[in-house]
């Protein structure tokens, strides 16, 4: 009788110690399985590299895919299909929505902001969150949205200046863009900035409206050397998705093209200035980690890219007969010469 009593005490002590040890071990990592919905407009290589950066950093933060996190990645080309993807995320009760592009973020915000418990949204690339209407303040969003602004709208001016620095003779510059009817806020703002900068630099902008992804090839063919001296890519997710058509056309017509991402420069764009999208993906992961730990996105300041790159493609320069100024080459972060 006596020995049973002591065995019981011993068992209770062992169980208590094991429980404490288990609780302490658990507290060091994610406590459960999280579901993250990732929504991008257009299967651009830019977004893909950012998504990879996001997943890589999440893994580094302890979220093992299949064990403590699952990703539902949806790439949507048509803007009108974005709400359906968001509804699918809501139906699946995802813990967080990670978006790429202004339309994707707006669709997610619109569908979730009035939910009893709005699903937090972290955008991984969005030109101007204030202009897109998804945050009320950069330093304190006060909505269920926060993320990393890609600066693609602000950098439109920089890309135009860059094109002028490469070839000071540039006078007419082509800008493919979503049609105004599509009402892409980033695109509209980007064109606004480009117009102001062009006016300051004495350059004329030639706008090439695109209604859908199907029109990229046809629109790109319209951009010829007889019409323009160069091309810049605005902050426009529709154009990002069809960037290859415009790069190919620039090579064909021997026109300098200013893009914003390493994948575009690697693909043949003459110059590029923009964020390192992989690093942006990592920044997004850190924000997502904060939110999954319990912090509200409403109080997490919007970030800007930690790393901005100036990229040059010497091969393209030779192909189209342009020589980069020495100062520009010296300040470049990436020079592609293969």
Site residues (vs another protein, CB under 8 A)? 2-3, 5-6, 9-10, 24, 27-28, 130, 138-139, 149, 151, 154, 157-158, 161, 197, 273, 286, 289-290, 293-295, 299, 301-306, 308, 310, 331
How far is C-alpha 300 from the chain's CA centre?
Answer: 18
Nearer to another protein, 79 or 158 (CB): 158
Residue 222 CB neighbours (<10 A): 13
Closest contact distance (angstroms) between CB of 315 and another protein is 24
Sorted by sequence, the CB contacts under 8 Å of residue 328 that are 6+ apart come out as 165, 166, 310, 312
Please, what sign has the CA dihedral across residues 328, 269, 316, 210?
Answer: negative
Q: CB of 95 within 8 A of CB of 124?
A: no
Closest contact distance (angstroms) between CB of 195 and another protein is 14
Length of the chain: 338
Nearer to another protein, 249 or 279 (CB): 279
Nearer to another protein, 238 or 332 (CB): 332
The residue behind tokens 């390192």 is 276
Closest contact distance (angstroms) between CB of 67 and another protein is 19
> Alpha carbon of 244 to those of 162, 256, 312: distances in Å?
20, 14, 17
Closest contact distance (angstroms) between CB of 117 and another protein is 19
Sorted by sequence, the CB contacts under 8 Å of residue 236 that are 6+ apart come out as 176, 177, 178, 184, 186, 187, 190
**Helix H or strand E encompassing 82:** helix 82-91
Closest contact distance (angstroms) between CB of 34 and another protein is 15
Residue 244 CB neighbours (<10 A): 17
Closest contact distance (angstroms) between CB of 224 and another protein is 29
């Amino acid at each position: 009788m006596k020995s049973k009593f002591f065995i019981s005490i011993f068992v209770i002590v062992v169980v208590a110690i094991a429980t404490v040890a288990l609780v302490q071990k658990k507290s060091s990592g994610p406590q459960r399985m999280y579901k993250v919905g990732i929504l991008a407009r257009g299967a651009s290589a830019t977004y893909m590299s950012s998504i990879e950066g996001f997943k890589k950093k999440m893994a580094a933060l302890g979220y093992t895919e299949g064990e403590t996190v699952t990703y539902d990645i949806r790439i949507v080309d048509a803007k009108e299909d974005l709400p359906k993807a968001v509804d699918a995320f809501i139906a699946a009760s995802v813990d967080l929505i990670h978006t790429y592009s202004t339309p994707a973020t707006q669709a997610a915000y619109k569908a979730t902001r009035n939910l009893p418990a709005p699903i937090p949204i972290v955008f991984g690339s969005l030109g101007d969150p204030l202009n897109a209407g998804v945050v009320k303040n950069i330093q304190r969003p006060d909505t269920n949205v926060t993320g990393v602004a890609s600066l693609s709208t602000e950098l439109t001016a920089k890309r135009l200046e860059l094109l002028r620095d490469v070839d000071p003779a540039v006078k007419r510059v082509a800008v493919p863009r979503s049609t105004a009817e599509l009402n892409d806020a980033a695109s509209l703002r980007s064109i606004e900035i480009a117009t102001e900068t062009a006016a300051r630099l004495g350059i004329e902008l030639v706008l090439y409206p695109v209604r859908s992804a199907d029109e990229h090839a046809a629109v790109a063919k319209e951009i010829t050397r007889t019409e323009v001296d160069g091309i810049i890519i605005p902050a426009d997710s529709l154009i990002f998705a069809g960037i290859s058509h415009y790069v190919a056309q620039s090579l064909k017509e021997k026109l300098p093209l200013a893009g914003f991402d390493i994948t575009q420069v690697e693909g043949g764009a003459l110059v590029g200035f923009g964020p390192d999208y992989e690093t942006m993906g990592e920044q997004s992961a850190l924000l997502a980690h904060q939110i999954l730990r319990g912090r509200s996105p409403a109080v997490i300041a919007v970030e800007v890219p930690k790393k901005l790159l100036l990229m040059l493609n010497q091969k393209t320069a030779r192909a189209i007969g342009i020589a980069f100024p020495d100062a520009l080459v010296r300040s470049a972060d990436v020079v592609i010469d293969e």
